[in-house]
Copies of this chain bind each other. A is one copy, B any other.
Amino acid sequence: MSELAAHRVGRQRGRPPGRTNTRQDVLDAARRVFADRGYQHASLRAIAAEAGVDAGMVRHFFGDKAGLFRAAMELPVDPATILPVLLGPGLDGLGERVVRFFVSVWDDPVARGPFLSLIRSVAGHEESATMFRQFITEQMLGPLAAAIGRPNARLRATLVGSQLVGLAMVRYVVKVEPLASASADQVVAAVAPTIQRYLTGDVSDLSPPAADSAATG
């Protein structure tokens, strides 16, 4: 990140000759190719060609396609790193760990920035939505569904995503009170049971109302 920042400062002062801007060229090429072809059909080779560099150079800088995508979108979180951490203690309590982590990232103004940009881009542009859908499916929803290991695992994973995206929209984008100012603990207490039910509870039968949801009418 600091390497990237330093690079940008250098860039503002005029582009030096030679290969100094290779990293930035690759990121620019990646954004173009991901937008044109979607995440799924963009290849490291095509992005390298677009940037006019060797594919090995791209791998050297960014590892794999997912790493390049994260760098191009400036995402401060690596799903491939964080998912095993959250899943480590098992499915018990996973809802709480997921919500606590999600809120901790979004409550951080620095980390929030790129995610706000992403959600705006995804809501506003069809090609961004396609790109993000493919990335999130491969990098988060697929691995999460595999870890759930229950019927409807894919549906469960997308339901988890729906509550988290909606939380981001209402708390951080539209900023509706009192959810916008609720403490992290309040949000976890309210939302974690939802996520836990989507992960491990019953999602395919419409259960009778719980005892505390008595009719008033």
Contacts and interface: CB of A to CB of B under 8 A. Distances in A.
Contacts of A164: 166
Given A124-B120, A213-B91, A193 B189 contact: no
A33 interface: no
Number of copies: 2
Interface string A177-202: 11100100010111111101111111
Interface string A135-174: 0110001000000010000110011011111110111011
Given A91-B215, A124-B120, A205-B189, A170 B165 contact: yes
A165 B132 CA distance: 18
A216 interface: yes
Contacts of A171: 162
Max count, chain B CB within 10 A of own CB: residue among A169, A182, A204: A169
Contact of A204 (B90, B133, B190, B206): B190
Contact of A203 (B87, B190, B207): B190
